[in-house]
Amino acid sequence: MPDALVLLDRPVDGVALLTLNRPDKYNAILPETIQQLGEHLTACASDDSVRAIVLTGAGKAFCAGLDLVAVGEGAEFGGREGLWPLARSPKPVVGAINGVAITGGLEMALACDFRIGSTNARFADTHSRVGITPYWGLTARLPQAVGQSWARRMSFTGDFVDAETALRIGLLTEVTSPEELVSRAVELASSIATTDAETQTRIRDIYNQMRDATGQTALDLEERYQGLQADPEAFAARRAAVFERGKAQQ
């Protein structure tokens, strides 16, 4: 396991690039991942030279969700507040989705302000297949992104959505080649960095308040159901089945 599970770079003035850095495990989330991501986001929040952030994944995946070994060992991922540094970042976050974004990885992508993806991007909400109730805001943010019907279809089936479909339903705003993805995301973040900071912050605050107010009931219900999960052995077996299903859908 690399020491740095989240890398921080400054590719251009005004932009911070955060990269989930566990490529051999499809950037599966460990408690340390959440901790390091939060630390970097906190540092960016207090750095006036950072106007926008890009979040992406190393290797072939954006994020495959929670690490099943860590879940089986009873690791604590921080509950609903675990993703708050991302969902409540005071700086805009552009998600650069380079590969699969599954379950917790999808929730991480949804916590970004908006997302662009490479042609390799694929999304799945497999909570109902692995026996875990969402608790990072998916039930509020997924229908806001794609509408109720597509959100229900994704959550009820657990099927994968490819980049072209994700663009059509609003989960992505743009699709690029894999080689151009990060540079294009940095370009968009740089455009954000050229806006009037105070005005942009006010507009974003309005968007955030409307988003959170609309989804508050779902967020509260996620917190209520958080402890009602499948046992670790069942989770591991179901998670393996999800990956096999994903391969079959390619």
Q: What residues contact residue 65 under an 8 Å CB cut-off, 6+ apart?
A: 28, 29, 102, 103, 104, 105, 106, 126
How high is the mean pLDDT in each 10-residue block of the chain (250 residues)? 90 98 96 96 97 98 90 78 90 98 96 98 92 86 95 96 98 98 98 95 88 64 56 59 59
pTM, full prediction: 0.88
Positive or negative CA dihedral for 67, 125, 97, 10?
A: negative
Q: Give the per-residue pLDDT at 228.
A: 46
- The strand pairing partners of 20, in sequence order, are 6, 57
CA distance readout (Å), 93 to 4, 149, 187, 188: 20, 26, 13, 10
Give the Cα separation of 228 and 217 in Å (integer). Answer: 18
Q: For each of the domains in the chain, give its residue range(s) and CATH number, in order of start.
A: 6-199+213-248 (3.90.226.10)
Say how far apart CA 68 and CA 10 lie, in whole Å: 32
d(CA 191, CA 51): 10
The pair of structure tokens assigned to 88 is: 């409540």
